[in-house]
Structure 1
């Protein structure tokens, strides 16, 4: 009988606790379930976005192969507008920028490259955009703006190219001593087997650096 009374007391205590805390517990469970469902739903949405963006990116690539400038521009614009969070948007913007620049539309090319710099999810794409943008600015004799574009951190793999382009900007500014330093830094950072080393060496030679 004592056992029954003890069990009854535990049951009564449990009921009292549930009456006091049951609503909070159920709410917590509901919130947790909603969060889990939300995460799963977001993953499904992201996967769907990636698949759709990949299809549009195919149109960009096909446009490049067929040299269809309008197709490239339209598809790249669609990716930037509808799927900006995907890697395909920045990659297509890089391709479109190249096409625009080659066709004489430097303004659009710079705008697309700047978009990649500001929004790319991939560091490599952002660094490529910075190099290309700085190159265009150098061609336009916007030397200070070009140098500003090259400042800041970037992936180690691009160290040599950034130093080389800084050397080009400094040369254009007439800062030959600084340009030599930049070119030497480029050689130090480049792969010893890189064919581009010869180009940098020629630039140094042109500045009177003969070994």
Structure 2
């Protein structure tokens, strides 16, 4: 009887513990299972999104390497899909740069500008944003929108772009006929470039301008 009593006490104790903590334990288990399921679901979704974005990026790069008006339509469509549906993927920013280059090569400056304006406002990839601003300034320069081109080169300049931005400022001033400010900007670029081969090109601009 002593053995039966001990067992009964254990059962009673277990029942009391379950009544006190059972609901909490079940909720905790369900929460863990839900979190795990959500994590696996997010993994699948992220992988699916990345695969879709990569598909559009590959379609864009393929179209960019092909001639004809049809390729322009495909370039713009693929880029639009990347920007609208996969902006957070790494493919969107890179795809926009490819699209802008391809459109600029085809003399579609308005199309190239539209691509670069989107990326120039994207703060999620500072380095690519800096590239977009520099290239956008070049497109605006080609369109003779000098003030807008200079605006792209103002504000914070990421490390490594100081020389390139100064060089582009010089190009804009030169296009406007402001030789002094052009040369001043190019000299700033020279200081940054140092022994970089790009310095030789900038020096040639200075020599040509001063000798004109």
TM-score grouping bracket, smaller chain normalisation: 0.7 to 0.9
- Structure 2 CA distance for partners of 1:12 and 1:175, relative to 1, 3 Å: farther
Moved >6 Å (runs of 4+) = 8-15
RMSD: 3.5
**Other-structure match for 2:4:** none
Check if 1:112 corresponds to 2:115.
yes
SS for the counterpart of 1:66 is coil
SS for the counterpart of 2:65 is helix
Check if 1:161 corresponds to 2:164.
yes
Q: Which runs of 5+ in 2 are unaligned?
A: 1-7
Shift of 1:99: 2.8
Task: Find 2:207's aligned residue among 197, 205, 208.
Answer: 205
Moved more, 84-93 or 64-73: 64-73
Moved more, 49-58 or 13-22: 13-22
TM-score (norm 2): 0.76
Shift of 1:176: 4.3
**Other-structure match for 1:4:** none
Q: Which runs of 5+ in 1 are unaligned?
A: 1-7
Could you list the per-position Cα deviations for residues 107-163 of structure 1 after superposition, in whole angstroms to 9, with x for gaps in the alignment? 222111111222374333222211111112122232222122112334423222112
TM-score (norm 1): 0.76
Check if 1:133 corresponds to 2:140.
no
Q: Distance in 1 between matches of 2:129 and 2:158?
A: 10
Shift of 1:70: 2.9
* Number of matched pairs: 208
